[in-house]
């Protein structure tokens, strides 16, 4: 079980690196360049800073996970359980937001967006499960 959890944590870390990179490309991927350009300067700057800080946070989570995957999977030291728990809570909140905050009008009836919504929800839920398993 410990070895499987360690592998799951490494896969989770790789996934977080992917989400971090995706987050930095979101404007291009979603075709928001014109919309972002029309934002008032302060809102545009806050938008970009938040995108960078979210990506940096995810990269930090991933780096910590890769470096300490064995210790997190072992769970014998409280610090590793705490880190896993807090990252798990981060992803649990993100999964809940995916379902409760975003309007379904953004994806309902649009097959590619519906598929992406389901994939992201599954990914966020999977990250939650891996980290909270390591925490427990």
Q: Would you kindly state where each structural domain of the chain is located, as residue ranges?
A: 2-135
Task: Measure the CA–CA gap between 131 and 136, rounded to whole angstroms.
Answer: 9
pLDDT digits (tens, 9 = 90+) for 17-73: 999 999 999 899 888 999 999 999 999 999 999 999 999 999 999 999 999 999 999
Task: Measure the CA–CA gap between 47 and 44, rounded to whole angstroms.
Answer: 5
Instruction: Identify the residue with better confidence: 107 or 79.
Output: 79
């Amino acid at each position: 079980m410990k070895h499987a959890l360690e592998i799951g944590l490494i896969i989770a870390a790789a996934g977080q690196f992917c989400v971090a990179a995706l987050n930095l490309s979101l404007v291009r991927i979603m075709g928001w360049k014109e919309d972002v350009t029309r934002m008032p300067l302060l809102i545009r700057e806050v938008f970009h800073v938040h995108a960078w800080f979210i990506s940096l946070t995810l990269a930090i989570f991933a780096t910590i996970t890769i470096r300490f995957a064995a210790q997190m999977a072992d769970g014998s030291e409280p610090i590793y359980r705490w880190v896993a728990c807090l990252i798990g809570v981060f992803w649990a909140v993100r999964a809940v937001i995916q379902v409760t905050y975003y309007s379904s009008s953004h994806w309902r009836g649009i097959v590619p967006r519906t598929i992406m919504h389901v994939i992201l929800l599954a990914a966020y839920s999977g990250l939650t499960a891996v980290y909270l398993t390591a925490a427990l």
